[in-house]
A and B are shown apart, each in its own frame.
Chain A
């Protein structure tokens, strides 16, 4: 029961973090692509579309987490992305990048480096909790499971 509520809170937390991180990247892709390029990890010809696909993947995962549809796959992808971000921020820290990480919208700036790596590692904890203990409260997955169980019950009655 408590774990279910904790799982729900973690799912909503990660979902809203990803929505907050992705909406500006989707609306202003021209601004986000240079952030991706500055890490120097993707070939020039992949930067524009790679950054767009990344932003849309973040957004799709966030919607799935919030609505509770395909919770485990969505939380798995969220965890994968957070592991990637953490590694990227550590890399930025090692190379002394010092530029804005481009993670979140706004002019305040979130410098790429060890602090950002720690933040992403902290975000990874609830994402992993949702993956290992998806929970079913307030989710489309739970509604679908209930419907499935109901269908099985009807079949059982017919059999008898």
Chain B
């Protein structure tokens, strides 16, 4: 029953893929294959052990995940700076970020890498010594970062 329509279906998907690639390659405002913060990063990558060392030496630790995730669990002492609020919060934080010996950023999920976006944003505004880790919260916990889980209000 499906046999005769599978070929046209495949043709439709191939046509749509070609249109998607063509449109995004050649039109202004097209979507790049990877976001620039990943394909052309201005930040430096750091592994979780070195990140812990930097934080012990006084680096500012930034949590780039969604505010909701930050409120559930985070590294103790991490500063909340989600991508959605960057423009708003940057003005408040820029002085302390400029004075910091280093800035370490975490926040990585299966489909998103907000730490990279925040790192790129800060580097574009001239803040030096930006380090981004691919580590997720569990990796940070295993590496010895102290965690903070704010108590939830009783239902």
Residue positions of A touching B, CB distance < 8 A: 26, 28-30, 33, 36-45, 47-49, 51-53, 55-57, 59-61, 64, 70, 72-74, 76-77
- Nearest Cβ on chain B to A137's Cβ, whole angstroms: 20
- In the bound complex, do residue A45 and residue B34 qualify as a contact, i.e. CB atoms below 8 Å apart? yes
B31 at the interface (CB under 8 A from A): yes
**Which of B7-15, B55-63, B143-151 is the contact stretch?**
B7-15
Which residues of chain B are near A26, meaning CB under 8 Å?
A: 23
A-B contacts, 7 listed (Cβ < 8 Å): A40-B112, A42-B111, A44-B38, A45-B33, A55-B20, A57-B12, A64-B12
Which residues of chain A are near B5, meaning CB under 8 Å?
A: 72-73, 76
In the complex, A86→B122 CA distance in Å?
39
- B64-108: which residues lie under 8 A (CB-CB) from chain A? none
Which residues of chain A are near B34, meaning CB under 8 Å?
A: 45, 48
- In the bound complex, do residue A30 and residue B31 qualify as a contact, i.e. CB atoms below 8 Å apart? yes
- In the bound complex, do residue A44 and residue B111 qualify as a contact, i.e. CB atoms below 8 Å apart? yes
- Nearest Cβ on chain B to A72's Cβ, whole angstroms: 5
- In the bound complex, do residue B16 and residue A57 qualify as a contact, i.e. CB atoms below 8 Å apart? yes
Which residues of chain A are near B24, meaning CB under 8 Å?
A: 29, 49, 52
In the complex, A47→B23 CA distance in Å?
16
A30, A73, A77 pick with most chain B CB within 10 angstroms: A73
- In the bound complex, do residue B12 and residue A53 qualify as a contact, i.e. CB atoms below 8 Å apart? no
Residue positions of B touching A, CB distance < 8 A: 2, 5, 8-9, 12-13, 15-17, 19-21, 23-24, 29-35, 38, 109-113
Given contacts A36-B111, A70-B8, 7 further A-B contacts (CB under 8 A): A33-B31, A37-B111, A40-B109, A49-B24, A61-B12, A73-B9, A77-B12
- In the bound complex, do residue A40 and residue B110 qualify as a contact, i.e. CB atoms below 8 Å apart? yes
Which residues of chain B are near A45, meaning CB under 8 Å?
A: 33-34
Which residues of chain B are near A53, meaning CB under 8 Å?
A: 13, 16-17, 20
In the complex, A73→B1 CA distance in Å?
12
User: Which one of B8, B13, B29, B113 contacts A57 once the chains associate, using CB atoms below 8 Å?
Assistant: B13
Which residues of chain A are near B13, meaning CB under 8 Å?
A: 53, 57, 77
- Nearest Cβ on chain B to A95's Cβ, whole angstroms: 12
- In the bound complex, do residue A56 and residue B16 qualify as a contact, i.e. CB atoms below 8 Å apart? yes
Residue of B nearest to A52 (CB): B20
Residue of A nearest to B4 (CB): A72
- In the bound complex, do residue B16 and residue A43 qualify as a contact, i.e. CB atoms below 8 Å apart? no
- In the bound complex, do residue A56 and residue B19 qualify as a contact, i.e. CB atoms below 8 Å apart? yes
User: Which one of B21, B31, B110 contacts A44 once the chains associate, using CB atoms below 8 Å?
Assistant: B110
Which residues of chain B are near A28, meaning CB under 8 Å?
A: 29
- Nearest Cβ on chain B to A39's Cβ, whole angstroms: 7
- In the bound complex, do residue A44 and residue B32 qualify as a contact, i.e. CB atoms below 8 Å apart? no
Q: 8 closest A-B pairs (Cβ-Cβ)? A: A73-B8, A52-B20, A29-B31, A56-B16, A57-B16, A56-B20, A37-B111, A73-B5
- Nearest Cβ on chain A to B126's Cβ, whole angstroms: 24
Which residues of chain A are near B111, meaning CB under 8 Å?
A: 36-44, 47
